[in-house]
Amino acid sequence: MREASFYTGCLECEEALLPMRLFSQKKMREVRPIIMLGVFLTLLVAGTQFSSGYARQLLDRLDLLIYDLRFNLLLPYSHKTAAAQRIVIIDIDERSLKEVGHWPWSRKTVAELVDKLAAAGVVSITFDVVFSEPEPNMATEIAAVHAATPIAADLRQLAPQFDYDRRMAESISKIDVTLGYILHGEGFRTGEMPASHVDLAPELVQRSSVEHMVGHTTNIPVLQQTARGQGFINGPPDSDGIVRRAPLMLRYGDQLFPSLALQTAMTYLLLDSVTPTVINDGSAVYVQSIELGDKLIHTDGKGQMLVPYRGHRGSFPYIPAVDVLQGKADPAQLSGSIAMVGTSAIGLVDLRTTPVGAMFPGIETQATIVDALLSGDVPYKPDTALGINMVSILLLGGLLAVIMPFLGPTVMSLLGLGSLIIVAAGNVWLWQVKGLDMPVSGPLLTVMITYVINISFGFFAAAQQKDQIKGMFGQYVAPAHIDRLLDDPAALSFEGESKKMTVLFSDIRSFTNMSETLSAGDLKSLLNRYFTPMTEVIFEQQGTIDKYVGDMIMAFWGAPLDDPQHEKHAVMAALLMQKKQAELREAFREIGLPPIYTGIGVNTGQMNVGDMGSTYRRAYTVLGDAVNLGSRLESITKFYGAEILVSESTYAAVQEDFIWREVDYMQVKGKKEPIHVYEPLVLSDEADEMLIRHVQQYHLARQAYLARHWEEAHSLFSGLAVEAEDFRKLCEIYKERIKHYRTEQLPDDWCGVWQHTEK
């Protein structure tokens, strides 16, 4: 009995689990293509880590951008280890060039600079300049010109006193001085190469990945022989022209030579040479690090180190060279320091683009490298970076590719965002705490690609449905309205209702005469070219197109979606439509079409709105007295010479937003109650002083008119008609009324109401 019951229970469990299994199998069939695509793209991204094509270059470029962003964001929170030795920059700046003279300075002046620095107690001096040509000896040159005269012998005896190259050599022999020179890829050579101070067997150097140079420009022998050391001052920037890393050594022939910064550090540490640690894989030799005293400086395979900029320009003390020469420099600032001589002057073109800013002096880059070498605080990219990156891409991409297809959009988005944050946070931690520069574009790109393809598949059906809805309702409302309706379907109601809204009517003036002079094709072209930009303006201002009737446009605001600013949007649309028509008139003239001028009426009030019509044809429209008044306002714009007429109900809601003129207090045909009618001229913050003055004068004239001060009103209207063309027709209307009222006996309750007898 127990066995039978157990067996029956198992069958019941199987039957209960069957729908779940079917659902899982169905779901797996649906998501299998997405999983396979995600895995394929993950493998593709992982493969680019060891490629050299365009995709690899793109990822490298992205990593450089991320490097700069990370560097600058974390710079305020970075606590770099300061070197025990202070570094000051002796700046050949614009003021030094102005007071001492153009560069190059006489070697006598440079010798004086060295003597002054030595007297101030600097430990060593580094020149980020090259003295590649001897300075002419004044006495020798004059003696050569006057060789046939007795003075020539005396001049030759004085020649040693004017040998400023030797004068400088004597100065630098008294203190540790490091000179700069240039290694380049061109074939020419100037001077003799100094001795190499990097110990590596020639057979290893020849197979090393260190950049190979074939030309040089070095210092003159007399200076080269007396200097404590020499180092090259040049180094190529990254592919985008930004200096993020600097070579500590370059290859020339079968030897490696130190950079100026490395040689400066070696000079300070009293090291005659350094030996790089290399990896020899049989086919190539890669530099791994340099042991500098008790500091291990990691490099990339080419012997380059990342430049750990301390901050923006000015992170090291700058002392103008002219202040040192004139004895104005603070000895306490110089004593015990490493003095690095270079330039920040724009004309001497030693300014670089760096992650912390453009126009960054090259001498400060050199100072930064020296400081980092002496402190040992040098970030680096480990040799295993690419391998770690590939494993991260495969694990992260594979996991997300399998999990995401089973998630809803919200959870999927949270997972994607969380993955991005984890990857970014891990990268920041490695940089900030461990000093490791790990490439991160691959993992980030993997997360984003996986998320995008899954979210795209998830919303594909919804997108198709939205397109269908837009096709059905696009004739009623602007695309922005449709998007809001799709986001909130409960806001959509085509049922009839009564609500406060704003309506706009626009009609082309003299359209009947215009249509009689145009062919059917030209008329169609004109209307199409006119209706399209007008509709765009209405849609941009969140309006709903009611209908086109011939040359007339009817639009309204406040339905099918509520619009708390429907009055402002309608008036703004009217102004923009008139502005757009001015542009169309110019375009029409060029193609032989007649210019278009329109009148626009705008009214706000209670209206009935809904989907109305018959079984055969329906339309979403508005009805009511407020709608009829908007139409009446449009029809009488021509009477006043106004482009736009706005009712007082609309004006009351937006009077502060625009500059207005009150056109009239009138009674339209078919209406018993008079209304105030206004014309918007411009937005309040776009009005110039002249327009404001004209509006003020017009309002003063109308106040005088309403007060029955006929002479004053006539004078003000007359002056304004002459001064402002846009006010002329309206002024002439009031002048005619004044002419009429002067001879009339007006009732005591007269308030200026004008009755229109035509629609």
Q: What per-residue confidence (pLDDT) applies to 33?
A: 84
**Cα 375 from chain centroid?**
36
In sequence order, which residues have a C-beta less than 8 Å from that of residue 34 and are 6 or more positions away?
Answer: 401, 404, 405, 453, 454, 457
In sequence order, which residues have a C-beta less than 8 Å from that of residue 721 and are 6 or more positions away?
Answer: 727, 728, 731, 732, 735
261, 369 Cβ separation under 8 angstroms: yes
Q: What per-residue confidence (pLDDT) applies to 108?
A: 95
Tell me how far apart the alpha carbons of residues 456 and 759 are, in angstroms, rounded to a whole number.
Answer: 56
Tell me how far apart the alpha carbons of residues 264 and 179 are, in angstroms, rounded to a whole number.
Answer: 9
- CA angle 229/232/234 to nearest 5° reads 155
Determine the 3-state secondary structure of 124 from DSSP. strand
The domains of the chain are located at 1-79+380-458, 87-375, 493-683, 688-759
Tell me how far apart the alpha carbons of residues 397 and 40 are, in angstroms, rounded to a whole number.
Answer: 10
Q: What per-residue confidence (pLDDT) applies to 735?
A: 94
**Helices and strands counted in the chain (H then E):** 27, 27
Q: What per-residue confidence (pLDDT) applies to 7?
A: 35
Class of domain 493-683: alpha beta
Structure tokens at 384: 């295993």
How many CA atoms within 13 Å lie on the side-chain side of 406? Answer: 12
**Cα 222 from chain centroid?**
52
What phi-psi label fits residue 558: left (phi over 0), alpha (psi between -120 and 50 degrees) or beta? left
Residues of the chain with pLDDT under 50: 1-23, 461
Structure tokens at 419: 């993955």
| Total count of residues recorded for the chain | 759
- What is the tens place of the pLDDT at every residue in 624-670? 999 999 999 999 999 999 999 999 999 999 999 999 999 999 998 87
Tell me how far apart the alpha carbons of residues 117 and 125 are, in angstroms, rounded to a whole number.
Answer: 8
350, 128 Cβ separation under 8 angstroms: yes
For residue 220, the cross-strand partners are none
Tell me how far apart the alpha carbons of residues 447 and 33 are, in angstroms, rounded to a whole number.
Answer: 18
For residue 612, the cross-strand partners are 619
DSSP state of 150: T
Q: Are strands 87-91 and 338-342 parallel, antiparallel or unpaired?
A: parallel
